[in-house]
Structure 1
Amino acid sequence: MLPCLPLLLLVTLAASNVMKSPEDLESEMFPPVNPNCTQRLTDYILLRQEIQLSKMAAAEEARTQLMRENLQVLTQVRDTLSQVSETLTQRSQVNGKSLVETRRTCDPPFSPVGDSCLLLNLALKSDWASARQFCVGKGADLARFSDAAGYAAILDYINKINSENDSIDVWLGGTDEALEGTWLWVTGELMPRGPPFWGSTDSYKAAPDGGTSQNCAGLYKRDNYYMHDLRCNGAAAPLCQKL
């Protein structure tokens, strides 16, 4: 009989569990939560929500401030543009002339070209130093430019003056005589390099390419008036400029 006792005990325990109601089983599996734990969880959730709301409010305030600053800047830009437009309108009405016509006046024999006055003397062919002296005697200096627009304006002017399309090179106010390879305008400013300013030899070797024997800049007629380094003692026409 003794070997049957463990089996009997297991059957008795199982029977006792079967006799329990579902509510009793649930209470044993999920004991009630401590009220303090529930309160702490609620406080934690509320705190997280409060933090999130604070961050959202701060972000919204920052966006609002940024929009105010942008509006202020745009208002200033609008007012500035209005003042500039009014000034340009007033200038354009001076003596019934347009703004372009009144922007620059040049005494003959100089002609207005862009923001400067130019004089090209095709009848004078001299070396670079003599050409510069000629310009200085006219209260000017050999011409220079800083960008493609200025270069294009000079080319347009030269082609109009040289209507006969004579094969005449034109001196500019640029040289690398002080330091080989460092091309400077007569004002001491660096000259622009590369295209579309400098030309090439036989459409192959890019100028400047003459080394120490060619230290003065000119517009080379046989290369459609692209810039080239030329011999300073060569003959070319002076292009004088008043700024």
Structure 2
Amino acid sequence: MGLAAAVLWLSAAAAARALVVPPLRLDGNESHTDVILMRQEVILEEMVMLLTEIRDTLVDRRRVTDEAPRDRVTDEPLRPSVTDAPRSTTTTAKTSNAPPTCPDKFQEVDGVCLHLASSKQMSWDEARVYCQRLGGDLVHGLRNAEAGQSLVRDKYLAGESVVWVGGHDRSSEGRWEWLSGDAIPMDSTLWGIFLIMKQPSGGKSENCGCFYGPDEYQLHDIPCNRQYEPLCQVDHRNG
């Protein structure tokens, strides 16, 4: 039985007992008023007894409740449920499918990024520095040089200009090579023939290569301190 039910039961019992008053023992000399007062005293005594019983019952039940074993409490931390687990924030890097392109100032010619510095006149060494500041170097390699020769011929008329390229024989006289270190064969179709003279023809005084305008921009050897235009190449950049 719960506490609330016990209280209600005892209260009802108290009310019932208050209505049933035990007979009084009288000696015949009491007045009617005395009889009434005596009955009320008896009722009050009965009520006090009932209230005392109710109090004791409540105290006993409270003690039993306090002494009952409680649920076991552990110090273990709560484990997050599967639904509480943080979601993964890992993202997959997007890969660009854009084709490689030439950087600013450069144009693509036959798959090569080239820049012809028109109207800029400088020595061969200065031309290399100029191209390197753009992220490349003077055009070199057979395939790249052929693309550069095509660009120059489209840009200028025959005899209109002379353009520096990345060929030289500074490392060893008579052994011509590109800036990459690859040899430039003497029988290469790049070499020109000017005034019945097969290039290269300058000996020790002409150690740098150029596309020579008067010979329709064929490859010639020429003194490195002459002032001509640089023809630069650079690698493609990813899109």
TM-score, reference length from structure 1? 0.53
Quick check: 1:177 aligned with 2:170? yes
Q: Is the 8 A contact 1:125 1:236 kept in 2?
A: yes
Runs of 4+ in 1 over 6 A off after TM superposition: none
The percent identity for this pair of structures is 32
CA-CA distance at 1:192 after TM superposition: 3.2
Of residues 172, 182, 186, the one that matches 2:179 is 186
One-letter code aligned to 1:189? D
Residue of structure 2 in register with 1:125 after alignment: 121
Instruction: Give matches, 1:87-236, under 5 Å.
Output: 102=99, 104-147=100-143, 150-162=144-156, 167-202=160-195, 204-236=196-228
Q: If you compute each CA radius of gyration, which structure gives the higher value, 1 or 2?
A: 2
Deviations 1:138-194 (A, max 9, x none): 0010001324xx4442222112333x6672101011110111001111111112322
Could you tell me how far apart the structure 1 residues matched to 2:215 and 2:158 are? 13
Q: Which runs of 5+ in 1 are unaligned?
A: 1-93, 96-101
Q: Report the 3-state secondary structure (helix = DSSP H, G, I; strand = E; otherwise coil) of the residue aligned with 2:142.
A: coil
Could you tell me how far apart the structure 1 residues matched to 2:159 and 2:105 are? 20
Could you tell me how far apart the structure 2 residues matched to 1:141 and 1:229 are? 18
Could you tell me how far apart the structure 2 residues matched to 1:195 and 1:176 are? 15
Residue of structure 2 in register with 1:3 after alignment: none
CA RMSD after TM alignment: 1.9
Relative to structure 1, the CA distance from residue 139 to residue 115 in structure 2 (aligned partners, 3 Å threshold; closer, same or farther) is same
Residue of structure 2 in register with 1:48 after alignment: none
Name which structure has the greater RCO, CA cutoff 8 Å, separation 6+: 2
Pairs aligned (count): 139
CA-CA distance at 1:215 after TM superposition: 0.1
Q: Is the 8 A contact 1:213 1:231 kept in 2?
A: yes
One-letter code aligned to 2:149? L
Could you tell me how far apart the structure 2 residues matched to 1:151 and 1:136 are? 17
Q: Is the 8 A contact 1:120 1:161 kept in 2?
A: no
Relative to structure 1, the CA distance from residue 241 to residue 201 in structure 2 (aligned partners, 3 Å threshold; closer, same or farther) is same
Q: Report the 3-state secondary structure (helix = DSSP H, G, I; strand = E; otherwise coil) of the residue aligned with 1:112.
A: strand
CA-CA distance at 1:126 after TM superposition: 0.8
One-letter code aligned to 1:118? L
One-letter code aligned to 2:190? F
Deviations 1:94-152 (A, max 9, x none): 77xxxxxx4x41122100122321000011111100001000010010001324xx444
One-letter code aligned to 1:159? R
Deviations 1:12-66 (A, max 9, x none): xxxxxxxxxxxxxxxxxxxxxxxxxxxxxxxxxxxxxxxxxxxxxxxxxxxxxxx
Could you tell me how far apart the structure 2 residues matched to 1:192 and 1:236 are? 24
One-letter code aligned to 1:198? W
TM-score, reference length from structure 2? 0.54
